[in-house]
Structure 1
């Protein structure tokens, strides 16, 4: 039943994206470990976006996708509730435009801490969480809370709570949320993508890495897509 639900979710979201963007992803991989659902999108770039990407117009692509996602997220949440009984309260997404990839993460309830989760003990966990804390400190500040979960052998989820500094909170308050998101995405991804430690800690190649924020909850989600070493 779970595999059927995952296939139906992938089919539905693929159709939504195709209708909104003119072209959907070649494949969507759905992973569920309640309270989390992770959708990994492969080969997702429309012909227009391809031209913009070649002209280094990344901000234009991200801005357009953000506008479209605002209308799609309520539909995706409603479908997850109907099909899987998942009452999604938090929703995150990010794009790996250089890889033509993307990720969406839904979270039931306001917080996953304290809930019995599978996969929350894995090789290299302490080292990875320490490294992410250091990166967070370089970009803004160490998170007040940090926890992670291996959703499956290819999908690692990291959640940070309490990472905003005072100037960032003020920028959000006066309406510069999108500029802050763009700046943080560029800064954090620069540190994350150029970090060779993750592969060593996890004994797996990191083939994609995503990050998004819910500024109003002062919370961030990272997703590592892995290719485990044999």
Structure 2
């Protein structure tokens, strides 16, 4: 299938899936396929009841409910990608920016293809990695490895390996993974917003998303930036 048609089909599918399960779908769904990633950026995604809870400062309840629903939807999403797009998703991550009424779903595609050099090498990459290490050190520890890719003119994906500390691993083993995820989201996003990322990248940062694969001790940070004019 031609890439533009594929992106359009995925966009329609995700919009309908979220509308059917959340009661309201996003106004816009932006899909990018740049192996080994597929990113799905959601705009204007907040149901009326969620809006009420956010207004009452109950964001955690909204995120907890969304996380539960997404866990149920992940197998369907993976199966649909496999059947309609021929893409095998090894893993799927997601995060929300309730204040901006936006969201991000990112899939890691099983692929042996080499990344385009322009995706791996972009301006200010080394400086960005140093800032990410600062946040990681404050929140847990310096990652064993940091890599990043600018998969389009608006989206930077940062991957961190080896960031969990002993107490976090024990919480996960004890069944407190969801509570840990919620706490880490709040902490890391607050620290990321405090950084001078815009000065480092020389681009306006419009959205920040974070998620983890605790079993693999792996994390993804997704930055949505305003393209250079």
TM-score for both structures, normalised by structure 1: 0.95
How far 1:39 moved relative to its partner? 0.2
Give the secondary-structure state (helix, strand or coil) at the position aligned to 1:204: coil
How many residue pairs get matched?
226
Taking the TM superposition and a 5 Å limit, the aligned residue runs for 1:18-97 are 18-97=19-98
| Partners of 2:5 and 2:202 in 1: CA distance | 31
* Runs of 4+ deviating beyond 4 Å: none
| Partners of 1:215 and 1:115 in 2: CA distance | 26
Taking the TM superposition and a 5 Å limit, the aligned residue runs for 1:162-173 are 162-173=162-173
| Partners of 2:227 and 2:71 in 1: CA distance | 34
1:178 and 2:174 correspond: no
Q: Which runs of 5+ in 1 are unaligned?
A: none
Measured against aligned partners, the alpha-carbon deviations of 1:27-64 in whole angstroms (never above 9, x if no partner) come to 00001111100000000000000000000011110111
Give the secondary-structure state (helix, strand or coil) at the position aligned to 2:226: strand
Question: What RMSD, in angstroms, separates the aligned Cα atoms of the two structures?
Answer: 1.2
Contact 1:123 1:201 in 2 (8 A): no
How far 1:77 moved relative to its partner? 0.9
How far 1:202 moved relative to its partner? 1.8
| Aligned twin of 1:117 | 115
How far 1:183 moved relative to its partner? 1.0
How far 1:228 moved relative to its partner? 2.1
| Aligned twin of 1:105 | 106
TM-score for both structures, normalised by structure 2: 0.96
| Aligned twin of 1:229 | 228
| Aligned twin of 1:216 | 215
Contact 2:35 2:113 in 1 (8 A): no
| Partners of 1:202 and 1:5 in 2: CA distance | 31
| Aligned twin of 2:14 | 13
| Partners of 2:156 and 2:86 in 1: CA distance | 23
Give the secondary-structure state (helix, strand or coil) at the position aligned to 2:75: helix
Q: Which runs of 5+ in 2 are unaligned?
A: none
Measured against aligned partners, the alpha-carbon deviations of 1:102-135 in whole angstroms (never above 9, x if no partner) come to 00000024xx8x9621211000000001110111
